[in-house]
Amino acid sequence: MARANTLLSQTVSDNEAVILDEWMQRLRQAGADQGGRINAAELQTQGRDFLSILKRTLGESSDVTGAAFEPLRELLADISRSRAIQGYSPRETALFVFSLKQALFAAVARRKDFSAEQLAQATWEASTMLDELGLHTMDVYQRSREEVIVRQQREIAELSTPVVKLWDGILALPLIGTLDSERTQVVMENLLQSIVDSGADFAIIDITGVPTVDTLTAQHLLKTIAAARLMGADCIISGIRPQIAQTMVHLGVELNVISKATLADAFALALKRLNKTVVTAKTPQAADSKAAG
């Protein structure tokens, strides 16, 4: 084992520049620097760093899963993670390690001083090492993608539930798009927290932009309304589509749900309950600001 390792180690340190050239050529042939996500110089730097650490590591150990390989694994993890975030495919990401195989095999094959047995041994060592590193790359890639997905889900959930203040004591939550159970939960928590933060008496949930509501989501909405009532605020639902109205009735809406056809109607009702009225301004120059009356 140690002997084969020395052979591989020797091969890498003697032919570093040649291996790097050939490796980069392979990568370019496979289109690794296409698409503008990484340029040739960056790729070259990554390759050079990888080879120089590999050279150092092989001088110490041949155990790919051992501690000596840790720096190399870390470098690969960094590369893999950045590619996952940049949107590389798994194939493109794995290519970085696997295309080194051919370059390394060629370098081993060119060693005239190796016996046939030594050649086979060195090739086998190189192959198992690169396979292991390739798998490691994929592991990190997969994990990074999952992290990206989880983060995006959270961001979408937060972005899609803006609570806006219409007036002192009146909040509105315009919902747009399909409401799944998880999103509704985020909506619910956001709205209730906003009620506390702003001391609102009324919250208008406008679902004009919601195409369908399944029973679970309708239930969530009703729970939100019930929770708001427990906190001391009233909810008004506006913009209910016909089929949503049916869903809600089938659920047996016994809660004190106030609903209005449009957001404007709901707003008017909330203002009325707060003893506020909207009047048309008398002077013509103030006509623009009549909505603020």
| Binding interface with another protein (CB under 8 A) | 146, 150, 188-189, 192-193, 195-196, 199-201, 223, 226-234, 255-256, 258, 273
Residue 186 C-beta: closest distance to another protein, Å: 10
Residue 185 C-beta: closest distance to another protein, Å: 8
Tokens of 172: 């509105």
Rounded alpha-carbon distances, angstroms, from residue 54 to 44, 61, 114, 221: 15, 10, 21, 58
DSSP classification of residue 283: S
Tokens of 15: 């032919």
Residue 139 C-beta: closest distance to another protein, Å: 13
> Residue 196 CB: number of other CB atoms within 10 A?
11
What residue type is assigned to position 92 of the chain? E
Residue 75 C-beta: closest distance to another protein, Å: 25
Residue 140 C-beta: closest distance to another protein, Å: 15
Decide whether 32 or 163 has the Cβ nearer to another protein: 163
Residue 35 C-beta: closest distance to another protein, Å: 30
The closest alpha carbon to 184, from 151, 142, 216, belongs to 216
Decide whether 130 or 228 has the Cβ nearer to another protein: 228
Decide whether 48 or 273 has the Cβ nearer to another protein: 273
d(CA 180, CA 114): 65
Residues 6+ apart with CB under 8 A from 81: 140, 141, 144
Decide whether 245 or 274 has the Cβ nearer to another protein: 274
The closest alpha carbon to 270, from 200, 174, 220, 207, belongs to 200
What residue type is assigned to position 276 of the chain? K
The closest alpha carbon to 87, from 35, 42, 24, belongs to 35
Decide whether 226 or 287 has the Cβ nearer to another protein: 226
Decide whether 148 or 281 has the Cβ nearer to another protein: 148
Tokens of 227: 């929770």
Tell me the pairing of strands 164-167 and 170-176: antiparallel
Decide whether 129 or 228 has the Cβ nearer to another protein: 228
Residues 6+ apart with CB under 8 A from 38: 32, 86
Residue 251 C-beta: closest distance to another protein, Å: 14
